[in-house]
Amino acid sequence: MNLALFDLDNTLLSGDSDFAWAQFLIAKGVLDRELHEAKNAAFYDQYKAGTLDIHAFLDFQLAPLSRHPRTELDAWHREFMTTCIQPLIGAPARALVARHTECGDLLAIVTATNSFVTGPIAREFGIPHLIATIPAQKDGQFTGQPRGTPAFREGKIERVEAWLEALGLCWSSFGQSRFYSDSHNDLPLLEKVTHPIAVDADPILTKIATTRGWPHISLRD
């Protein structure tokens, strides 16, 4: 059995679900445009530059979840899936997931974006396992804080290893392990697997992948 791990934003999706969720809430009037739009863009720029403070970002991104009942959030997310996420899912991404599924590989999405936003997206792809940043809950209500280690940079390795351990597995359980990602922020996990694969990569990762001879593919229609 082989292991296939997928980054989500700008990898399987031709866009960023975290950024899109905040923009969706702004467009609905749930978040104040003047206050939140500039912050959302600034955090996204920091992510692309590799300077993101994940905890400061999570304070910003998870806070809206704590202000609304889960039924309302779920209704908004269904609309978000239809209007914002479905257009970002291309046939090549679906085909890649299908190939790994048909090969009998163990599949997981590994993403820094929180599991409330990404859970339905993983189900849309038919990927059975999701390793994402977990928004803490109390009595069924989000608290606005993360629980445990965010699935970001080195945290992705920690979270993947904990997941594998819970399944009674480890890295050496697999003949091959693959991780598909667009971002240089994912270098720790890319360097951990046996087969790192750059997908529509950012300029920094493109340069690294070229230097190291890693495959570089595109999943864009």
Q: Looking at the annotation, which residues are catalytic?
A: 7, 9
- Do residues 114 and 4 touch, judged by C-beta distance below 8 A? no
Give me 16's structure tokens: 């960023």
- Do residues 189 and 156 touch, judged by C-beta distance below 8 A? yes
- Do residues 134 and 143 touch, judged by C-beta distance below 8 A? no
The beta strand positions in the chain, using DSSP E, are: 3-6, 106-114, 129-138, 141-147, 177-181, 195-199, 216-217
Q: Report which of 100, 99, 98, 105 is spatially closest to residue 124, judged by C-alpha positions.
A: 98
- Cα–Cα distance for residue pair 149/132, rounded to 1 Å: 10
Q: Report which of 171, 217, 174 is spatially closest to residue 191, judged by C-alpha positions.
A: 171
Residues in the chain, overall count: 221
- Cα–Cα distance for residue pair 192/17, rounded to 1 Å: 25
